[in-house]
Amino acid sequence: MTALKARVVEVVRETADAHSLVLEPAEGDRDRFAYRPGQFLTVRVPAEDGWAARCYSLCSSPLTDDRLKVTVKRVAGGLGSNWICDNVTAGDVLEVLRPAGTFTPASLDEDLLLVAGGSGITPVMSILKSCLAGGTGKVALLYANRDEKSVIFAAELRELTERHPDRLTVVHLLESVQGLPTPAVLRSLAAPYTGRQAFVCGPEIFMDLVTGTFTDLGVRVHVERFFSLENDPFEEPEDPPEDTGDAGEVEVEMDGETRTVPWAKSERLLDALLRAGVDAPFSCREGNCSACACIRLEGEVTLDANTVLDEQDLADGLILACQARPVTDRLKITYDG
């Protein structure tokens, strides 16, 4: 079974419509909760016709926080956010998938430009705290909100700025004061940091604005996009269709270990790994979230769907295990890159 258990130790009310859940892994699952800055958890939530799943970023840092923490902002009509904000209390046990996602810097020692809108601060906060605690680079944060009361982690950001005045710069953009962000404003604010990679998370329209503006400035932008999942990824994979060709194999590196498993040409890579007992990360199983991304070292695949990996990602060897089907008889991948 791929699902994990996490007990809610504390519920923190960050703002009027945003709650943080402090989580303690079940004793036997603790090692499987290892995560990188900027990753997220997939949480199983009740739905009218059974179960559904929603993704929530970790705002905690693996370098500074003993427990995991996710922040959930209430969304009008949101299935998961409203259930969590209205019902989840300390002592509850949640069913989750292991932390996943590629919205994480390759190094904590490089200078970064972080951009967040509203609750998009959640994974950005994890990256920011990790860089300050475990890296040597400088961090600039541009944070957009409706008004001052909407600023999640306001006190923590002030404290971090005071503690790291030479390494952390925080600029708040408040719609109530400056109006909605414009390309001209974003270009002006980003100008001192155009040599840095940018990590952007927030509402879709905000991310599109930032991405377009920064790309014109020559800045490489990484974005974190979440979609409502159509299916329940917690369900066990179905048996593969009968394979009419010669079965291949995949060599997989994960957590410092290497093993080889069979892979039918009619089967997607993630299903083959899970069936063989490989604890591969995943979330949506629809090609929309990058949680299952791994690096192709040898061999070739085709992807049934891909809405998250750009041309540079593909050139770097990233593939989506939940959508990959084999072209060659043998494939070698790693999750440790």
Q: Which two structure tokens, joined as six digits, stand for 124?
A: 């950005």
* pLDDT (0 to 100) of residue 66: 93
At 124, the amino acid letter reads V
Inter-residue contact 198 to 221 (CB < 8 Å): yes
DSSP 114-164: EEEEGGGHHHHHHHHHHHHHH----EEEEEEESSGGG-TTHHHHHHHHHH-
Residue by residue, pLDDT tens for the chain (337 residues) are 478 999 999 999 999 999 999 999 988 888 889 999 999 999 999 988 888 889 999 999 999 999 999 999 999 888 999 999 999 999 999 999 989 888 999 999 999 999 999 999 999 999 999 999 999 999 999 999 999 999 999 999 999 999 999 999 999 999 999 999 999 999 999 999 999 999 999 999 999 999 999 999 999 899 998 766 666 788 776 666 565 556 789 999 998 899 999 998 889 999 999 989 898 988 888 888 888 999 999 999 999 999 888 888 899 999 999 999 999 999 999 998 7
Measure Cα distances from 53 to 228, 229, 308, 320 in Å: 8, 6, 19, 19
Q: What is the DSSP letter of 33?
A: G
Q: Can you list the domains of the chain with their CATH numbers?
A: 4-100 (2.40.30.10), 112-224 (3.40.50.80), 247-334 (3.10.20.30)
Distances (CA, A) of 146 to 52, 119, 125: 30, 11, 18
Region for 316 from its dihedrals, namely left if φ exceeds 0, alpha if ψ lies in -120 to 50, beta otherwise = alpha
The rounded distance, in Å, linking the Cα atoms of 34 and 61 is 11
**Bridging pattern class, strands 318-320 and 301-303:** unpaired
Within 8 A by CB and 6+ apart from 231, the residues are: 285, 286
Question: Taking a C-beta distance cutoff of 8 angstroms, is the pair 55, 41 a contact?
Answer: yes
Question: Residue 335: its pLDDT value, please?
Answer: 92
The pLDDT assigned to 290 comes to 82
* Whole-angstrom distance, CA of residue 334 vs CA of residue 34: 17
Rg (CA), the chain: 20
Q: Provide the pLDDT for residue 250.
A: 96
Q: With 0-12 CB in 10 A as exposed, 13-18 as middle and 19+ as buried, what is 3? A: middle
Q: How many helices (H) and strands (E) does the chain have?
A: 8, 18
Scan for tokens 């109006």, then name that residue. 179
**Cβ(169)–Cβ(140) below 8 Å:** yes
- The pLDDT assigned to 25 comes to 94
| Residue ranges of E strands in 16-76 | 18-25, 40-47, 50-57, 68-73
Spatial contact of 316 and 296, defined as CB atoms under 8 Å apart: no
**pTM for the full predicted model:** 0.85
3-state secondary structure of 334: strand
* pLDDT tens string 147-185: 999 999 999 999 999 999 999 999 999 999 999 999 999
Dist. CA 38–CA 125, nearest whole Å? 8
